[in-house]
Structure 1
Amino acid sequence: QTPHIDKLAREGVRFTDGYATAAVCGPSRSGIITGTYQQRFGMQANPDGNRYTVPAMHKVMPEALSAAGYKTGMFGKWNMPQGKGAEELFTEANGVMDWVGDFWPNADGRFNGYLTDKLTRHAVDFIEKYKDVPFFIYLAYNAPHNPWQAKLSDRNETIAQLWNEPKAIYAAMVKAVDDGVGRVLDRLYKDRIDSRTLVAFVSDNGPDSGHRPQPGWKAEWPNPVVMGDEGALSGGKNQLAEGGIRVPFIMRWPGTIPRGEVYTEPVMSFDFYTTFLAAAGADIPSGTDLSGANLLPFVRGEATSRRPHDLLFWKSKRHFAVRWGDWKLSTVYARGSEGGVALYNLRDDIGERHDQSTMRPDIKRNLLDEYRTWCARMPVSASGISNC
């Protein structure tokens, strides 16, 4: 149960077709912070994370907002090159760490307590410190990433509701995130700045399956265990199927964004950068080329175009996907599909089970051409993964 995240959705807009720019954490977070396709900088998969660079002329989101007069803080999972950050940082050097007492290089070394709670405290303290001036916070919880470790108090609460220990631990990790969201929203309310604050919530990829030999995995646990739940979607983390890239996607801004809105056109996590600049009344920095759209006119019914994007693209190693309206062209992970690429109508087939390639070869051909044109503009990845 996630009562605070659910409340956030009820009070703002929920995007049913909200996407991450990748199906795994590193490139996905790069897309959010740079506001564009991370492939432009050679970031295609996690192995690229220690090799790719964002040019100095391309300003990442906190740099752009800092130039616009905002105090900026980044707390949590980073997955970005060093030197591209905010004024106040508490970020990790690697993507996976223990939840109690791990070492973070740019703040207070080894910490006490549960990591999710500590990240929340950093965010709440930052709000209290800068409540009277414009501020930006990037709060990136690592949970519920492995290793599977939860607070005993939360675990004892969830184990009574779930049939096995690993799923109970996963649920407890999600509960800690939801509690943190609640504390942040409560701080905004108590400081009477909630109506002046745009809050966005998103995940960096779809659900993962727990299995040996992941860190923290116990020998007596079933193997594997589906930790998250993709519902009616197919696939999950590391796959460009809907279950790997379609993610929770919420924005709330009381008095500016309609309450209880449901938006059904495709949007991407790199849209946040452009949207935040528009909300701040700030210009796009010179030398910074963004792929994202300002979502505010679309959720307020003021847009002059039908949807924010005509086409959306994904690329990871040998896999790719293209979204155009209700149609999606993507690499097939299972064997047996013609040419390894399938065409789906997501309006009728959200689970991507029925390949429409033979019924609509014209759409398949056009989307494949669009993908090849887009991909040809992208460099080879930083780790040498061939592109097209």
Structure 2
Amino acid sequence: MLDWLLKLEHMESFWLLPIKVIIFGMFTLGLTACVEVAGQSVSETSLGSRPNIILIFVDDLGYGDPGCYGGTLVPTPNMDSLAREGVQFTDGYVTAPLCAPSRSGLLSGAYQQRFGMQWNPDLGEGRYAVPDGHKLMPQALAEAGYTTGIVGKWNMPHKAADFFDEVSDEMHFVGNYFPEADGRYAGVDGVTPLPYAEWQHDWGPDLPSDEYLTDRLSRHAVDFVRRHRDKPFFLYLAYNAPHSPFQAKHEHNKQFKEINPEPLRLYAGMVAAIDEGMGQILKALRDEGLDERTLIAFVSDNGPDWADARYANWSEEWPNGILMGSAGPLAGNKAMFLEGGLRVPFILRWPGKIQAGQVYREPVMSFDLYPTFCAAAGTTVPPHTTCDGVDLLPYLDGSRLGSPHEILFWKADGMGAVRKGDWKLIVNPTEPLRQLFNLKEDIGETRDMAKEKPELLASLLAAYTKWTDTLPPPARQKVGIFLSAEEDIANRKKEVELKKRGQP
């Protein structure tokens, strides 16, 4: 299994008036002089070497999908190049196994449960909200002098324009990959999403002049990079692919004609389009001389989806149940608290700053990117912002040893998990109520050691309970919505049993 895992300055000058030179205390490695910019302290050394930052956040890509994580379904040369030229995390997690709460944890830098966000229904008008004094990731970087932009899936309270300088192709839960007759995309930039019953899983677009949505996002990302080449920028590129509806380009149907059944071929095409778009962005960085002055993060929002005939317009010729993508050696998938739902592809690349070819094995969380980006930008997490994340840079350059986190938590209603060291406790609302796994020895979570290690179980459960006792109830309860995470997962139990028996 270890072998499988092993496959596993931007020089900018700008005028700040007035400039007040102050002496800052001990920073990461020593004393540095600072200047005050819009109330934020930014080290003088960072003013000439601050990187551009690109965060690529994909939707429902499995841990085992990229080639660098052992994937074989579809070539991913550009994802793989990031790992080869940067650091690949074997134990990179997201804060939730589902779209909206995962994005909340990423962009807030905190456990999203602090704000009443536990599951998708907690997002909506009058439901959960991040406190006004708590700055999101793009706000912190804007205060440090960055031009900020989002391309793609937002899935957060309020409009993206409230937090970014530029917004393109804004989406919430879903977006159609093929344009309507008027050239607009359902679910994108304020256009009403297609009703679930009208989702189509197919190849397209039909007209040569029509643009596939993933290609559109990539084109707009490249445009943002080229337009802002002369000043530090933060680009949040949030592909909605390979999230359903499963729609891919005709050219990929031909390219991957050997992949069957057809739903997996569609999925392969969607992943290939992402990787191709990433290649265009990397080329733009090289063309503009920005390649070595850009920090790139690549992460998925949760594990791969399980698709079946519950999906609207699911062909009768397709298997009634298929994992769209791969969780590699991990158990579970999207919406589950097994590793396959929570552990994701997680890569950082910053030429000259992060040693190339690293494989980092300590557990990290998506909310660590917030303080890591701030540190790279020469600033700090803003005041009144509760940050549960940790700056990863000292751990990657060897100046700090040990694990960034002593313990990590997850929760949604009566379900959740806690990881401490190699041990992970899963909390379930039904039998088995508690499951205990040693992830070092059993990455596939096949051997429940709850009965063999009762004292360890009790200790982890006590830590989990102490944490959950500090959290507010789910925000949806405020507006009379009681759809629970347990209900959402209940219909997957049959699927899990079918998979265990090897049935489609």
Q: Same fold (TM over 0.5)?
A: yes
Give the Cα separation in 2 of the matches to 1:344 and 1:213.
32
1:316 to 412, 420, 426: 412
1:380 aligns with 2:473: yes
| Contact 1:148 1:217 survives alignment (8 Å) | no
Secondary structure in 2 matching 1:342: strand
Output the amino acid matched with 2:424.
K
Which residue of structure 2 aligns with residue 348 of structure 1? 441
Q: What are the Cα deviations for residues 88-129 of structure 1, in whole angstroms up to 9, with x where unaligned?
A: 112435311211122456489999511111111111100000
Q: What are the Cα deviations for residues 348-377 of structure 1, in whole angstroms up to 9, with x where unaligned?
A: 011111122222222111111111111111
2:253 to 155, 163, 180: 155
Which residue of structure 1 aligns with residue 31 of structure 2? none
| Contact 1:343 1:355 survives alignment (8 Å) | yes
TM-score (norm 1): 0.94
Which residue of structure 2 aligns with residue 125 of structure 1? 223
Q: CA shift at 1:155, angstroms?
A: 1.8
2:295 to 188, 198, 204: 198
| Contact 1:17 1:266 survives alignment (8 Å) | yes
1:100 aligns with 2:193: no
Give the Cα separation in 1 of the matches to 2:436 and 2:419.
10
In structure 2, do the counterparts of structure 1 residues 95 and 5 end up closer, same or farther at CA, with 3 Å as the change threshold? same
Which residues of structure 2 form unaligned runs of 5+?
A: 1-74, 180-184, 194-208, 486-504
TM-score (norm 2): 0.73
In structure 2, do the counterparts of structure 1 residues 7 and 334 end up closer, same or farther at CA, with 3 Å as the change threshold? farther
Q: What are the Cα deviations for residues 148-171 of structure 1, in whole angstroms up to 9, with x where unaligned?
A: 1001111211122x1221110100
Task: Report the more deviating stretch, 14-23 or 214-223.
Answer: 214-223
Task: Report the more deviating stretch, 325-334 or 10-19.
Answer: 325-334
Which residue of structure 1 aligns with residue 382 of structure 2? 285
In structure 2, do the counterparts of structure 1 residues 383 and 11 end up closer, same or farther at CA, with 3 Å as the change threshold? same
Give the Cα separation in 2 of the matches to 1:28 and 1:270.
9
Which residue of structure 2 aligns with residue 49 of structure 1? 123
| Contact 1:147 1:216 survives alignment (8 Å) | no
Give the Cα separation in 1 of the matches to 2:152 and 2:98.
16
Q: CA shift at 1:219, angstroms?
A: 3.0
Q: CA shift at 1:269, angstroms?
A: 0.4
2:391 to 286, 294, 297: 294
2:426 to 330, 339, 343: 330
Give the Cα separation in 1 of the matches to 2:430 and 2:77.
37
In structure 2, do the counterparts of structure 1 residues 81 and 112 end up closer, same or farther at CA, with 3 Å as the change threshold? farther
Output the amino acid matched with 2:152.
G
Which residues of structure 1 form unaligned runs of 5+?
A: none
1:23 to 88, 97, 104: 97
| Contact 1:148 1:169 survives alignment (8 Å) | yes
Which residue of structure 1 aligns with residue 345 of structure 2? 248
| Contact 2:175 2:187 survives alignment (8 Å) | no
| Contact 2:225 2:285 survives alignment (8 Å) | yes
Secondary structure in 2 matching 1:184: helix
Give the Cα separation in 2 of the matches to 1:330 and 1:85.
35
Secondary structure in 2 matching 1:150: strand
1:236 to 333, 345, 355: 333
Give the Cα separation in 2 of the matches to 1:105 and 1:20.
25
Q: CA shift at 1:6, angstroms?
A: 0.6
1:274 aligns with 2:348: no
- Percent of aligned pairs with the same amino acid: 49
Which residue of structure 2 aligns with residue 170 of structure 1? 267
Which residue of structure 1 aligns with residue 213 of structure 2? 115
Give the Cα separation in 1 of the matches to 2:87 and 2:429.
33
1:62 aligns with 2:62: no
| Contact 1:45 1:316 survives alignment (8 Å) | yes
| Contact 1:201 1:250 survives alignment (8 Å) | yes
